[in-house]
Amino acid sequence: MADKKRIMLIDNEEGLCRMMEAVLSDSGYIVEAHTRSFEAVDVFRAGAWDLVVTDIKMPGMDGLEVLQKIKEKEPSIPVIMVTAYATVETSIQALRRGAYDMLTKPFEPEELLYRVKNALNHTKLLEENRELREELVGKFRFDNIVGASEGLKDVLERVARIAVRDSSVLVTGESGTGKELIAQAIHYNSPRREKKFIAINCGALPASILESELFGYRKGAFTGAHENRTGLLEAADGGTLFLDEVGNLPMEVQKTLLRFLQEQEFIRIGDTTPTKVDVRIISATNSDLNRAVERGEFREDLFYRLNVVNIHLPPLRERRSDIPLLAAHFIGQQNRKFGTRVKGLAPDALEAVCSFPWPGNIRQMQNVIEASMAMECGDCLGRGVIAQFIDLPAATDDGDGESDEGDYNQALSRFERDYLQGLLRKNRGNVDAAAREAGMNMATIYRKIKKYSIRKEDFS
C-alpha cells in the first residue's frame, strides 16, 4: 500500500489478538496490538490511527468504555466492536456510542479484512466529502471573487448581508458579468451551504421541457412519461435553485412558479396532490424585467416575488480598475492548468485591455486570455497576440512617424511565416524537430502553421 493505514487492536485474548495482527499486517496495514485496554486508551492519540478494532468483554475497562473514551479523543475515527455475545441490547449500546460495525466471534480472516476495508472506505468517503465542501466554500468565498473596485465592493457587501437571510434574490446585469458566481456566493455563505445548489438556464429549453425539468411529472402524464420524474425544485429541497435568464420563462411556468413562491408547494405534471419543499430561489436576468412586465410578457406579481432583494452587477467597462487583477487571475489559472509560466501582460497589451470596452464582460476577457495563451509561448502576452481576438484601435505613434501598428503587425507576420518555413525546410517537414529547435511546444507550431496556411508536406 502506498499510503498504509494504521490500525489499533485491543483484545485481552492474546491468541486472537496476535492472529488478527498477523492477518492485517499481511494485508499491508500497520498494526499495533494491545491486550490491556487501559494501556491502549492511554497511548491513543487523535490523528495517529485510521481505525480501532476492540473486543467488548474485557476485564477492567470493557469495550464500551474504550469506545467512549476513544470517541472523546477523536469523534470521527471508525471503531469496530468484536464480541462473542452479540445481543441486541449490546449492539444498540455500541452503535449509540458511535461504533461503526459489530464483528461476532468466531470469524474467518476474510470477514475481518472485509469489515476493516469497509470501515476505512467509509472514512475515506467522509473525508473526501468534507474536503469537497471546504473546496466549494473556499471557491465561492467573497475574497475569491476577483476585483477591488468600489462598484464590486458595494455588491459584495450587499451579498454578505443577504446571504444569511432566506429572501428571494434577483441578480441583474449584462451577459458575462458573473451573475451565477454571485448566486453561488450567496448559497455557499448561507445556512443552506450543506445542501444542493442547482442551476438551470431558463432560456435554453422549450416551454414543455422546462416545466417538466422544474416541477417533474407523474408516470403516464403525457406520451413518453414512462416513469415518475423528480423535478429540480424537489431535487434542491433544503438548498438553492438558481434560475438563470428568468425573463425567458413561459407564462404557464410563471404561474406554477408563483404558486410555489407563495405556498412553498407545487403540483407535478399529471399529479393531483401538491408537493411541499423548502427551497430558496435566486434568479438572474440580463433583460429589463420592468419593461417585460409593461409589455405583458412577464407577470408583475411574480416579478415582485422574485425581486425581494435586487443585486445589480456593473459591467466590466464601469470597473476598469479591476481589469489588471482579472487578467492576472486568468493568466494564473492557465499557468496552473497547463504548466506554463507566462508572467503577465506586456505594457502595451495592458494599456489596450484596460481601454477596451469588453462588450462580453468578464466571460469575454477570460476567453481572450485563454486563447492568447494558447498562441503565445513567451514570458508576456503582447498587444499583437491580444489583437488577434478583439478589435483594438491602432496603436499611437511613438513619435518617429515612420511606422504604425498595422505595418508592425504585418512585418511580424511576415517574419513569423518566413521563420516557420525556414525551420520546416531545415528539419524536412518534421514538426517535432522544428518545435524543439525553436523552443516552442508542438501545439503552438501547429497553430501557427494553420494560421499561415503552411503545408509541412511541401518541406518533407
CB 100 within 8 A of CB 78: yes
As to burial, measured by CB atoms within 10 angstroms (0-12 exposed, 13-18 middle, 19+ buried), residue 175 is middle
Give the Cα separation of 367 and 389 in Å (integer): 9
With vertex at residue 165, the alpha carbon angle to CA 159 and CA 170, rounded to the nearest 5 degrees, is: 55
Q: Where are the domains of the chain?
A: 6-135, 142-314, 319-393, 401-460
State the cell numbers at 412: 511580424
Give the Cα separation of 344 and 326 in Å (integer): 11
User: Is the whole model's pTM more than 0.75, yes or no?
Assistant: no
> Measured in Å, how far apart are the chain's first and last C-alpha atoms?
50
Same topology between domain 6-135 and domain 142-314: yes
State the cell numbers at 287: 433583460
Residue 412 confidence (pLDDT) = 63
Residue 144 confidence (pLDDT) = 58
CB 23 within 8 A of CB 113: yes
Residue 297 confidence (pLDDT) = 93
Give the Cα separation of 448 and 459 in Å (integer): 16
Residue 411 confidence (pLDDT) = 58
Give the Cα separation of 312 and 315 in Å (integer): 9
DSSP, collapsed to helix, strand or coil, labels residue 302 as: helix
Q: How many CB atoms lie within 10 A of CB 53?
A: 26
Give the Cα separation of 34 and 12 in Å (integer): 8
What is the mean pLDDT, run by run of 10 residues, along the chain of 460 residues? 81 90 93 93 91 91 92 90 77 81 87 90 71 52 70 88 93 94 92 93 83 83 75 93 94 91 87 90 95 95 96 93 88 89 88 91 94 86 92 59 49 69 78 74 76 78
Give the Cα separation of 304 and 299 in Å (integer): 9
The fourth-level CATH superfamily of domain 142-314 is P-loop containing nucleotide triphosphate hydrolases (3.40.50.300)
Q: For domain 6-135, which architecture applies? A: 3-Layer(aba) Sandwich (3.40)
State the cell numbers at 293: 412586465
Select the CATH number that applies to the domain covering 401-460 from these four: 1.10.860, 1.20.120, 1.10.287, 1.10.10: 1.10.10
Residue 289 confidence (pLDDT) = 94
Give 112-118 contacts, CB < 8 A, sequence gap 24+. Answer: 112/20, 112/23, 112/24, 113/23, 113/24, 113/27, 115/80, 116/7, 116/24, 116/29, 116/51, 116/53, 116/80
Residue 358 confidence (pLDDT) = 94
DSSP states of 194-260 as a string? TS-EEEEETTSS-HHHHHHHHH-B-TTSSTT--S-B--HHHHTTTSEEEEETGGG--HHHHHHHHHH
Give the Cα separation of 278 and 163 in Å (integer): 16
CATH class for domain 319-393? mainly alpha
Bridge partners, residue 284, by sequence = 171
